[in-house]
Structure 1
């Protein structure tokens, strides 16, 4: 028998014992109607201190939300207990995180990041634990029945970027990591370009953990014409690439237009590379959510100021932090909607999520839902419920809206022929 089978039999035996205790009057079933008011346990995982992309702010945001909710009286009177796990950008490590969540009785994994989609969705499916508001970096997050995405992931970001650049550039060059995840990038970017009858992007690969981008920057710069655009989607390494690109241009200011997606570029990257003098000035950025300057983020900012003041892991403009905030907002609303008599388990949370529709996130996303009617029918991504993006630009060193509101990529993504 495998380990998960053993755990299931152990859980079943424990459930029978608890039921017997109830019938004999010797105890109550934790989490049941009228039962124990023990904590509701969830987990958040993200990579920390790795050579590739790191997302420590997501763990810190989850912990801040825990303090915030519990100061408000918890969820229907029960405390929220947040477990965090470093998934290390590693398939074994993220599977271990899922095992820890199961052993701790977590009812969901919330607001998390991992590029090891096949590994963690398999583990969560085996234990029937819902995955709420993942970052959206893997295709598995939009295929697994235990996944409840809150954004359109990389497909919407890159398709949106391609559609934006099609109106700005005669030639587009994409610089991206040579990885399984990175292999998706040109597919979606080209889909956005194709929607405007634009030629596909030139695809330049670089190692996922590269530290020197001089050679690929020289390739990307080419003849350095203002009619050309260079889009870099390298996660934490994007600023290093743009710095290498800047040094190649006359007076350290290339003529090509620069572009990226949120997560690879955010306000902290612009600040650290010179603010208004940054090579990213006038760059075009595609995001999932409104810019961090939007008042819709005020509640999140106040929570960070009160419960994570001085925690340098958290940056309000980090889309990982923002995704975790939205994911926990969704989770809290759904659990509160279940009522104070409900048994809060992984199974009951899944059923509640499956029945949720038109859930407001205060304008940070379109209203969300995960009923069959909410699914968008995007090929290869059947769980996608939100394909809307925001267009942003860097102006005087600040990331601001390039146009108001959301831009819907649903029709562009539905037209793709990606396979499964």
Structure 2
């Protein structure tokens, strides 16, 4: 979990909201309506002019996937690698409606300038969508995409901008849902909670979201410990967090690490210092922890044993991932960039299946950026093999969270590290939309 540096089974249907929640949803819809009107007022903006064509007749459908690679902070090389493997699989099986899928990739270097360059390249290359991507710099890449009318489908959800742009179509609840869900997960299990998170703009929202989840379970707010996202050691942060988590001798406290790729570095310090605090537990989110990290740090003897983990999707061992694993084996065997347990790889897989559903829904019509957006905006329902709830991006499907007006899927899964394996702690999806709706008032 990182940010911009400073300089179930099918879940139950929610009941109809009434009272103050309705007014909140009206505000959320008004924000989007205003954004759409603003787009329409710009002659060349937001793709209101005829959309970019990426698949007319038998032409290939050209899309792009980007992610940071080879940087000192969070890296997601498996996402563009998964996109390329998906294209090879689709094309080996006749394409989508007879169209070959052409995937362009870009490295955003965790840098605002490079993120904008990736977006401008997408426009220059006439891509019809950016799919299954990761970037910490939403403001930098969304403006060029909006100007070109290119939809952003299935971003990782690391920035608030992905949940406000009218051209963004998120497939998960991003970092907001994970932190709110983790707060709910820990609220009934932990005493004092200490959060260690990046000292970044995106990191600043994490305490608010975690505390909203804790409050939903009647728990006191946790403490907030900032840390550099590219630090090489975290001894000071570890000592402070352990001290705060053990402040109540009658309750087992929990330390929450939300440092993305640097979680492993943090846990090196945590493992050493924890000997003096044997009762302190841990909590984190998918993206900061996955099965490969557990394996590489000792499996059942790793410092993550017993950790509570919140994710967007079913555990990686679930049979619902079998198709993805088969594609990786067939099309990317030996490519060590692709870890099927990585939340970024999983997000890219789901996002490309959303794209496939959209293109199939268009039949023989030209495949343009505008046509894709119209299909998504007009109520197309996309199933993902129960890896998420059914997805739809109509106004009616938005949750009533003013800060996240494009968020349509606020479901998470509760997991636990048991005998060295990530396992389901609770069956099915947990809907944290109500927690997110009230987060700004906590």
Deviation at residue 12 of structure 1 after TM alignment: 12
Counterparts of residues 324-403 of structure 1 (less than 5 Å): 324-339=348-363, 341-403=364-426
Counterparts of residues 8-407 of structure 1 (less than 5 Å): 31-32=55-56, 35=57, 37-222=58-243, 224=246, 227-250=252-275, 254-339=278-363, 341-407=364-430
Partners of 2:205 and 2:122 lie apart in 1 by 29
Deviation at residue 355 of structure 1 after TM alignment: 2.0
Partners of 2:44 and 2:284 lie apart in 1 by 45
Structure 1 residues 248 and 295: alpha-carbon distance in aligned structure 2, compared to 1, 3 A threshold = same
Contact 1:334 1:356 in 2 (8 A): no
TM-score (norm 2): 0.86
Q: Which runs of 5+ in 2 are unaligned?
A: 1-42
Contact 2:61 2:367 in 1 (8 A): yes
Partners of 2:149 and 2:278 lie apart in 1 by 51
Partners of 1:357 and 1:347 lie apart in 2 by 14
Partners of 2:143 and 2:218 lie apart in 1 by 39
Structure 1 residues 12 and 119: alpha-carbon distance in aligned structure 2, compared to 1, 3 A threshold = closer
Q: Which secondary structure state, in structure 1, belongs to the residue aligned with residue 310 of structure 2?
A: strand
Deviation at residue 197 of structure 1 after TM alignment: 1.9
Q: Give the CA RMSD over aligned residues.
A: 2.1
Partners of 1:324 and 1:158 lie apart in 2 by 21
Deviation at residue 109 of structure 1 after TM alignment: 0.1
Partner residue in 1 for 2:18:
none
Deviation at residue 367 of structure 1 after TM alignment: 0.4
Partners of 1:164 and 1:30 lie apart in 2 by 44
Contact 2:54 2:367 in 1 (8 A): no
Deviation at residue 208 of structure 1 after TM alignment: 1.5
Structure 1 residues 31 and 215: alpha-carbon distance in aligned structure 2, compared to 1, 3 A threshold = closer
Aligned residues: 393
Deviation at residue 84 of structure 1 after TM alignment: 0.3
Structure 1 residues 45 and 258: alpha-carbon distance in aligned structure 2, compared to 1, 3 A threshold = same
Structure 1 residues 384 and 185: alpha-carbon distance in aligned structure 2, compared to 1, 3 A threshold = same
Deviation at residue 8 of structure 1 after TM alignment: 6.2
TM-score (norm 1): 0.90
Q: Which secondary structure state, in structure 2, belongs to the residue aligned with residue 416 of structure 1?
A: helix
Deviation at residue 375 of structure 1 after TM alignment: 1.0
Structure having the higher Rg? 1
Structure 1 residues 215 and 74: alpha-carbon distance in aligned structure 2, compared to 1, 3 A threshold = same
Q: Deviations over 1:199-242 (max 9, x none)?
A: 11100001121111111111111174661000000000101111
Partners of 1:367 and 1:69 lie apart in 2 by 22
Deviation at residue 30 of structure 1 after TM alignment: 7.7
Deviation at residue 136 of structure 1 after TM alignment: 0.6
Contact 1:45 1:112 in 2 (8 A): yes
Partner residue in 2 for 1:19:
none
Deviation at residue 356 of structure 1 after TM alignment: 3.5
Contact 1:379 1:416 in 2 (8 A): no
Partners of 2:320 and 2:427 lie apart in 1 by 14
Partners of 1:393 and 1:184 lie apart in 2 by 24
Q: Which runs of 5+ in 1 are unaligned?
A: 1-6, 16-28
